Copies of this chain bind each other. A is one copy, B any other.
Amino acid sequence: MNVEKIIKTETEIPLIPRTLIHLTLVNAKITEIFASALKPHDISIQQFNVLRILRGQKGKPSNLSTLNERMVTKMSNTTRLVDKLLSKGYVDRIVCPSNRRKVEINITKDGLKALKFMDAEMEKANDFIVQDLTEQDLKQLNNLLNKF
- Seen from chain A, the residues whose Cβ lies within 8 Å of a Cβ on chain B are 2-3, 5-6, 8, 15-20, 22-31, 69-70, 72, 122, 126-127, 129-130, 132-133, 135, 137-142, 144-148
Contact = CB atoms under 8 A, between A and B. Distances in A.
What is the total number of copies of this protein in its complex? 2
Nearest to A12: B56
A5 B147 CA distance: 14
Nearest to A49: B21
Interface centre among A28, A129, A138 (most CB of B within 10 A): A138
Nearest to A73: B28
Query: From DSSP, what is the main secondary structure of chain A's interface residues?
Result: helix
A19 B127 CA distance: 12
A16 B142 contact: no
Given A5-B70, A8-B146, 7 more contacts: A15-B138, A19-B138, A19-B142, A20-B129, A23-B30, A137-B147, A140-B140
